[in-house]
Structure 1
Amino acid sequence: MEGEANVRVSEFYNLNKSQSELDFVDVDIVNDVELYIDPSAIAHLSSPWADSCIASIQSFFQRVLDAIGDSNDEGAISLLAELREPNETHLGQSSGRSQGSGLGDKLAEKFWESLSNSRAARSGLLEDLEDTALLVEGVDKDRISDITTNLIRAQLVEFTQETAEYHGIELTPDVAYGPFWDPLKGEWYQKYTNLPTPNGERLLLVPKAIARRGLHLSASEFYRHTVLNYLVIQERAERSLGAVIRSRRGVTKTSVNEVLKEQFDAGRHNPGVEKRINTWATQQNPELLRGYKEEKAATGNPPLPNEDLAERVGSDTSRLRDLLEDVLRTPAGRDDADAYERRIESFLSALFYPHLVFPRRQKKIHDGRKRIDISYTNAATHGFFYWLAMHYPAAHIVVECKNYGKELRNPEFDQLQGRFSPSRGKVGLLLHRGYGDKEKVWSSCRDTARDDRGFIIALDDDDLRLLVQESEAPTSAESFGYLHKLFQKLID
């Protein structure tokens, strides 16, 4: 019911963590948070999980487009009809208790009607799900987010289960759930699975790295900055709209916009008129859409900052100094190794987000024979980690935590470099407590780099203090110049 008190996931399960320490959106377990899943945000992540999501989205949408192209109305409606209101993510814009705006029942038919009546769909202009937000009337961020949630439901269940295991969130066994999309078979299926069920309702956690305030691709932006510019050039060359526009005050974006709105809307002030014009112009020149998408892909789609997420969900923002103190007061030794690793993960996740996202803990590699303490996906669009990805294999950053009360020795360095691979990346952080000769530690790191076995940046307690000091200096915020300086020690 509207007006129910907000209780976030972290509060309900007593996680004692703020949004900046969590890699999922810390939603209210009853009401919606006005955030959305953007497919292009997933596409910008480099990880097997993200690749699996994109495969599901592309597989489904291509089948729908094929049905439209074959005039197979029944087949397309059958595919769309399995989409459901994804209330369990608690994302969207419902007022009060999550109700969703998904595509089940009559809404599926409405979405089918929008697609089937769309010139963009019939003419083959649509290639990706997010194209519909540019060219198809009645489709916007909420609808795209709902569809995407349905198509990656299996991947979100996997993420939810891993996250629940790490944080000790209770799972209800054998919950009837679905439908799930099988991209290989091209069909929907149901299954029983384990999920959190606060207040008896299913909960599906969403990685904060893929949550956005809106879509990266914007119909209005495409219209005003790509389509209008193109049509102005065309009209000035006397090849497009005709003499009516030249009889006005010159050929400008304003005059072209006025004439287009008159021709395509006839004074009805329909909010979908820009999409109709987008489709018309793109039919004349398909490169408009391709160029716009390529330009947007090049600019990146960075995750929302922790401060923005915290404001949206009503959470506090963690202070790095408090998280650092948690790390520093952890006793060195095997007995507190797990506590040290968890506190390091909270600290690094808050410090490096949104440059490093999607932390995976105790990740199995080599058929389970080895484990990586923590690995991050490198999503940086500027600063040190971006530079790193441009020059070295650094799609992922591997982290090993050594809570030793003694000096590090060769096996610890060998263990970390053994986690490297061309696909995972060859850059890692070795977190340790600082016992022994620091220069000897760096000599071992340089030896690893010179032998082309990867790049290890060793960080002890003092280094973490310096990273926090740097983060508080506005001139160097988020550039991580100190890390860059340490990396130079490996390659000089």
Structure 2
Amino acid sequence: MMIRPRFTEFNDVFTPQNKLDFAIPFLDEDIPLYVDPFLLWRSPSYQDKGLHQLILSAFNNLGNLVRDGNTKEAVYQLIRASECDEVGLGTSAIRKGTRIGEQKAEEILSLFQHVPFYRDNGFRHFEEIQLFIDGISKDRISDIACNFMKSFLIDYTAQECEQLGLPLRKTKIPDVYNPDTRAFEDIAADIAVHPETGSPILLVPKRWLRHVPWINYDGYFKTFCPQDDIAHEGEELNRVKVLTFNRDNYGVVDTYIQARERTAADCQNDPLFSQIPVISARRHLAAIKKLPTGKDDGADQKYEKHIGQLLPSILYPKLDFAQEQARTESGVSIRDLIFYNSRSHDFLREIMDDYGSRQITFELKNVRSIGREHVDQLNRYLSDDLGKFGVFVTRHPLKNAEFKRTIDLWSGQRKAIITLTDADIEQMVELFESKQREPIDVLVKKYLQFRRACP
């Protein structure tokens, strides 16, 4: 069973994340990023700008409905727009969210009547609702944007899947906004689906994703909010007071929005994974070399922490990091780092072909020496589901008896276990710094040394 399975690997597509235009969806949880409409607004792409206009037109049409006395329809549409499970963005562990309620929808729509600027002109950036309505944050902004441009995302998903050979299935897709009728409708289309639930999956371009929207409450509160005017000395300044003040003093919000527009060039998408800088890699290495072996003073946990920071960065982008995992064998807690096997390197393709390793497990051991019990533990973990290739990350080379045991496992069960020591980690950091070769070459070297010792 794969750890933290992704849609692409499940369908035998192993292109690494950095080579794809979209964020690879997880099957069991959300991606912890959000669509920021401001990125579409500032994009040099006419397509992105057009989509921003589509989103804005759809949202401002809700104000038109309210002004025309169709508040019930406006509430209905806003509720339908408030959750977009198909994109799998956010923090849910089950790829399932909840819509806003009728009362919250009415509160949002009241801005079209209460704030003169919105009544007369509509919104320039609908993310501004975060500055007036409690309980509206980045997840709602992202979902509303995705639902209003869902028709585009359907076409984009089909296009990307066809290019990669990912399967499509005719499926009912709910809440697709039709700009011609200015209403939501359910449609059937060829789309990617979850392999277990059959529910539709929509792919989202990486260039639209941020951890926090460019326009957000915390940024406004910190730099533009006239806090002394809202709460007098001795009074508590809470979020509700600020939001209420904003509704009656739109000029302050307007100043903030104009400032965000002026600095739009600084607004960049957030990568799905960020490597640590070279200086940080050096610091982690220095800290590792100073650590004693064993568990005294939490040395084992410190070792795991430093390695857990180092390896995902120095092996990227050849290996995408899946997650850190704790497992228990005979009452002993074992810390693993799990990577997706992208097959983007000859060595990685060989590991997949020879050992069935769709993912690669690195077991971290801050011990003086690897013992027979450690080899047995990792041997039991390596299975047909996970693959039969594993890596010990430990302080020193294996002793002859344990190294021979790994050779015997290869001879009898065609399992391969190699070892990265402090010296190997140091060499990987040096390659990470110099950029002359790739750190994964150290893994290749250790594997070749292992295979030369095999019969």
Question: TM-score, normalised on structure 1?
Answer: 0.52
Name the counterpart of 1:431: none
How far residue 201 of structure 1 moved from its aligned partner, in angstroms, is 2.4
* Residue number in structure 1 paired with 2:145: 148
Q: How far apart, CA to CA, are the structure 2 residues paired with 1:26 and 1:13? A: 12
Alignment of 1:41-440 (within 5 A): 41-70=39-68, 72-83=70-81, 85-94=83-92, 96-103=93-100, 107-116=101-110, 121=115, 124=118, 126-173=123-170, 175-197=171-193, 198-199=195-196, 200-228=198-226, 257-258=227-228, 260-262=230-232, 267=236, 270-283=238-251, 287-297=254-264, 299-305=265-271, 307-308=273-274, 317-319=316-318
Deviation at 1:282, TM superposition (A): 2.3
Work out the CA distance in 1 between the residues paired with 2:76 and 2:163.
38
Cα distance, 1:259 vs structure 2: 5.3
Deviations 1:292-342 (A, max 9, x none): 232242x3421223533999xx9973149x99x979xxxxxxxxxxxxxxx
Tell me the CA shift for residue 5 of structure 1.
4.7
Shift of 1:129: 1.1
Name structure 2 gaps, 5 residues minimum.
Answer: 277-307, 320-340, 347-430, 437-455
Shift of 1:71: 5.4
| Mapped partners of 1:309, 1:148: distance in 2 | 29
Structure 2 distance, partners of 1:170, 1:182, is: 26
Identify if the C-alpha distance between structure 1 residues 118 and 205 changes in structure 2 by more than 3 Å, giving closer, same or farther: same
Partner Cα separation in structure 2 for residue 81 and residue 21 of structure 1: 36
Counterpart contact for 1:36–1:145, Cα < 8 Å: yes
**Distance in 1, Cα, partners of 2:238 & 2:146:** 29
Q: Is this contact kept in 2: 1:115–1:121, CA < 8 A? A: no
Q: Distance in 2 between matches of 1:117 and 1:262?
A: 26
Report how far residue 206 of structure 1 moved.
0.9
Give the secondary structure class of the aligned counterpart of 1:272: helix
Partner Cα separation in structure 2 for residue 218 and residue 157 of structure 1: 28
Query: How much has 1:203 moved relative to structure 2?
Result: 1.1
Q: Deviations over 1:327-358 (max 9, x none)?
A: 9xxxxxxxxxxxxxxxxxxxxxxxxxxxxxxx
Query: Per the alignment, do residues 193 and 109 of structure 1 end up closer, same or farther by CA in structure 2, a change over 3 Å counting?
Result: farther
SS at match of 1:62: helix
Q: In structure 2, what is the equivalent of residue 459 of structure 1?
A: none
8 A contact 2:79–2:99 mirrored in 1: no
Deviations 1:247-283 (A, max 9, x none): xxxxxxxxxx3552349x964x643333333333324
* Separation in 2, partners of 1:110, 1:469: 50
Give the whole-Å Cα distance in 2 for the aligned partners of 1:190 and 1:21.
Answer: 33
| Counterpart contact for 1:164–1:170, Cα < 8 Å | yes
**What is the match of residue 18 of structure 2?**
20
Q: Distance in 2 between matches of 1:59 and 1:281?
A: 25
Structure 1 unaligned spans of 5+? 229-256, 328-467, 474-492
What is residue 395 of structure 2 aligned with on the other side?
none
Q: One-letter code of the match for 2:189?
A: T
Q: How big is the shift at 1:39? A: 0.6
**Corresponding residue of 1:374:** none
Residues 175-218 of structure 1: CA distance to partner in whole angstroms, max 9, x if unpaired? 11132212233222222101111222221111111111111112
Contact residue 38 and residue 125 of structure 2 kept, 8 A: no
Whole-Å separation in 2 of the counterparts to 1:89 and 1:134: 25
Tell me if the contact between 2:230 and 2:241 (Cα under 8 Å) persists in the aligned partners.
no
User: For residues 126-183 of structure 1, what are the alpha-carbon distances to aligned partners after superposition, in whole Å with 9 as ceiling and x for unaligned?
Assistant: 432111122333211011011111111111111110110011001012x111322122
Q: Comparing 178-187 with 205-214, which one deviates more in the overlay? A: 178-187
Conserved? CA contact 2:30–2:91, under 8 Å: yes
Percent identical? 22
1:373 corresponding residue in structure 2:
none
State how far apart, in whole Å, the 2-side matches of 1:138 and 1:279 are: 15
Say which SS state the counterpart of residue 74 (structure 1) adopts.
helix
How has the CA–CA distance of structure 1 residues 45 and 58 changed in structure 2, closer, same or farther, with 3 Å as cutoff? Answer: same
What value does the CA root-mean-square deviation take over the aligned residues?
Answer: 3.7
Task: Tell me the number of residue pairs that the alignment of Structure 1 and Structure 2 aligns.
Answer: 290
Matches of 1:67 and 1:289 in 2, distance apart?
28
**SS, match of residue 142 in structure 1:** helix
Q: Distance in 2 between matches of 1:34 and 1:290?
A: 25
Instruction: Give 3-state SS (helix, strand or coil) of 2:190's partner.
Output: strand
- Partner of 2:249, secondary structure, is helix
1:130 and 1:296 mapped to 2: Cα distance?
16
Amino acid in the other structure paired with 1:278: N
